[in-house]
Every structure is written in structure tokens, then in C-alpha cells.
Amino acid sequence: MLVSVIVITKDEAPRLRLSLLSLLRGGPADGIEIIVVDDGSSDATGAVLRELSQSRDLSCVRHDQPRGRSAARNAGARVARGELLLFLDGDVVAAPDLCALHASRHQSHETLGVLGRGETWHLRCTRFFRDPELGVPFPEAAAHVARLSEDLSPYLVTRGQVKDDFAAIERRGAPGIYPGSGPRRLYELEMGALREQAWPNVLWMAASGHNFSVRRADFEAVDGFDERLTINEHRELAMRLCDRGNRVVEVAGARTYHLTHRSGWRDPIDETSWERIFHEAHPGPVATLMSIFWLSLANDPLIPAHARILSLADMGRILQNGSDVDYDAIRRSHPRLASL
């Protein structure tokens, strides 16, 4: 099974170098192709790609102007040759067995197509650095970094570690793609639901934005990502795929490590434009319950205690069996949701 690894990137050249080196660490490998989609970078991304293509050919797609995450992933998929597509972001490093574990998970499901969710971990130590290998801080973090220590090595991720001492990276990793109690809790809820496989009607909610694999034939059958979306595009894709018979499964042990940056995590409660698009594409209770689930996890005071949805199992039961709670009335009365 040829695995097409599609890496999307924009203005993150130092992180991209480490990300690609984690995929190239063993030199040329049978069964893997790497496609990098540069979504309008204005930094040294081009130089990084030229540097690394000398050791192994990389397929590169360049957008002169940024088109967004969904369009970038679709562009990579269009030139992919592999039977399996594995989507990664350009600011994560891949564990050595990542591609093999994804391929094995799909090969064990010959008749029913699956969507593979790997283990998405993070490296909190890199969050202050524009260049997490050389220790160059973001301008706004320079004073903080100056106070850390004369020896920054505990905070850095180097090429040598990526190639020859990946255990030094793994020791500093923690579950969840971003630091903090909110991302950790959401990660545990999603992975717990995948391991239980008890409510398949909502497992599309546990899809991830990267470290996510799908057979190319299935991806093409639903026309890929909705290019209007730049957040929660992976869940929307997974929902359409699950509607046609696929299901989301865990790829145990297939880890990526996010080289965290100071800008923090993309909170679906803060970024709301996706909700209108999602509701228009999927009218009915699903999109409403998804929004109420995240508002419940955030302890939104406008969601009554008796109406809170605190797990994917709760959401699955409501969708299957109904509820005494009038969730549509809650949606209409909530300032954020009323216009959806």
C-alpha cells in the first residue's frame, strides 16, 4: 500500500524542516511519498524545500496566495498517487512508525473503509520559539526566553534528536495537540470514544485535523474537504464519510508531536464562522448538538446544567433516542447560536 503523506504549511519554515526530517529520517523508503503544499508562505519555506529535496525528491505544490487549510489539503490529494492519504501539518514531528501503523490499520479493514485517527501529542517546551531548533524566540517572547536559562537545550528540538534520538522528544510530549486542561480534556473524550466504539453515530466528532488517514478512493467519493471551512473541516469531512459507511478508528501508537507555538489553540468557541457553514451544509440537530457540546465543556452559563452535553456518548444517545430537553429552543435563545 503506497501512503501519500500530505503536509500543509504556511510561514513555519524552521518547524517544517524538523517535520520533514522526521519523515525522511530513514532515507528513501518504499511505500511512502511525501507531498508538501506551501499555502502562500512568505518566509524561508522555499529554501527549506530546496534543501531537503536534494536528499530525497519531494513533490511540492505552491500557492502564490494563501487559500486555506482545506484547499491546501485538497491540492495535495489531487497530485497524490497513493492508495492511502495521510494528512499532516507542517509544525508536527512524526514518530518513526507513523506511516507503517496507519497503513497496517487500513489493511486490517478490507471491506469496510475506516478513517484513521492517530495519537496527537504536543511539545509545550517549544511554545516561545520562532525557531525551536536554534532557540530564536518570537519577538513578544524574547524577554521571557532571556530569563529562562543560559542553557536552552531542555526546550529545543534538534535535527539530531529527530534523526537519532527520538526518545528525547517523546519524553517531553503530552497528550493533546495543544497544552492546557481544555485541549487535554477534549483529547481524552475523543480518544476514549474511539476506543469504546460504542456510539458510531458520533465518532466523526473524534476525527483530527492532522495525523488523520483515509483511503484515496473514499476521499474522492465525497469530493474531499469543504474549502469554505478552515476550522473543523476534518470533522465535517468525517461526517460525510461516515454517512456513506466509513467509521473513525484509533491508530494506536501512531504519534505526532506538535511543535507548539505561542499563538495557542484554535478554540471552536472563539472562532465561529465555521458554524454557519456547517449548519447550512447539515441542517438538523447534529450541528446544534455539536455546538452545545463544546459550549458545555467550556461551562457556558447560558447552557442550563440539565442540558449540558459532556461526552460523545451523551451526544450519541440524544441523537439516537431523543431527549426531553428542547435543544432547538436553547439554540434560538443563545446569542452565539441564534443566527445559525
Return mean pLDDT, the chain: 91
- Establish if 11 belongs to a structural domain: yes
> What is the rounded distance in angstroms from the CA atom of residue 92 to the CA atom of residue 255?
10
Mean pLDDT along residues 175-194: 92
Mean pLDDT along residues 146-157: 92
pLDDT at 149: 83
Measured CA to CA in angstroms, residue 15 lies from 89, 260, 311 at distances of 10, 10, 34
pLDDT at 275: 80
Considering the domain architecture, whether residues 81 and 201 belong to the same structural domain is answered as yes
Mean pLDDT along residues 86-100: 96
Place of cell 478512493: 217
All three cell numbers of 105, joined, read 490499520
> What is the rounded distance in angstroms from the CA atom of residue 7 to the CA atom of residue 69?
10
Considering the domain architecture, whether residues 27 and 100 belong to the same structural domain is answered as yes
- Establish if 105 belongs to a structural domain: yes
Considering the domain architecture, whether residues 112 and 203 belong to the same structural domain is answered as yes
Considering the domain architecture, whether residues 328 and 198 belong to the same structural domain is answered as no
What one-letter code names the amino acid at 160? G
Pick from 259, 292, 311: which residue ends a domain? 259
Mean pLDDT along residues 98-107: 94
Burial code of 23-39, b = ≥16 C-beta within 10 A, e = fewer?
bbbeeeeeebbbbbbbb
In this predicted structure, the answer to whether residue 263 has a pLDDT above a threshold of 70 is no
> What is the rounded distance in angstroms from the CA atom of residue 258 to the CA atom of residue 91?
6
pLDDT at 113: 82
- Establish if 252 belongs to a structural domain: yes
Considering the domain architecture, whether residues 255 and 293 belong to the same structural domain is answered as no
> What is the rounded distance in angstroms from the CA atom of residue 179 to the CA atom of residue 114?
28
Mean pLDDT along residues 271-291: 83
- Establish if 157 belongs to a structural domain: no
- Establish if 141 belongs to a structural domain: no
pLDDT at 305: 94
> Domain range for residue 297?
273-333
- Give the count of domains, the chain: 2
pLDDT at 316: 94
Considering the domain architecture, whether residues 296 and 217 belong to the same structural domain is answered as no
Considering the domain architecture, whether residues 201 and 308 belong to the same structural domain is answered as no
Mean pLDDT along residues 320-336: 91
In this predicted structure, the answer to whether residue 129 has a pLDDT above a threshold of 60 is yes
CATH code of the domain containing 67? 3.90.550.10
pLDDT at 273: 76
Place of cell 497503513: 103
In this predicted structure, the answer to whether residue 270 has a pLDDT above a threshold of 70 is no
Backbone angles phi and psi of 222, in degrees to 5: -110, 15
Short-list 191, 190, 4, 10, CA closest to 87: 4
Considering the domain architecture, whether residues 247 and 113 belong to the same structural domain is answered as yes
Considering the domain architecture, whether residues 205 and 283 belong to the same structural domain is answered as no
Mean pLDDT along residues 139-147: 92
- Establish if 286 belongs to a structural domain: yes
DSSP strand pairing (92-94 vs 247-259): antiparallel
- Which DSSP category does 138 fall into? P
Please list, in sequence order, all residues whose beta carbon lies within 8 angstroms of the beta carbon of residue 170, skipping any fewer than 6 positions away. 95, 255, 257
pLDDT in tens, 32-56: 999 999 999 999 999 999 988 876 6
- Establish if 185 belongs to a structural domain: yes
Least confident interval from 21-35, 144-158, 215-229, 234-248: 21-35
All three cell numbers of 235, joined, read 470533522
pLDDT in tens, 153-182: 999 999 999 999 999 999 999 999 999 888
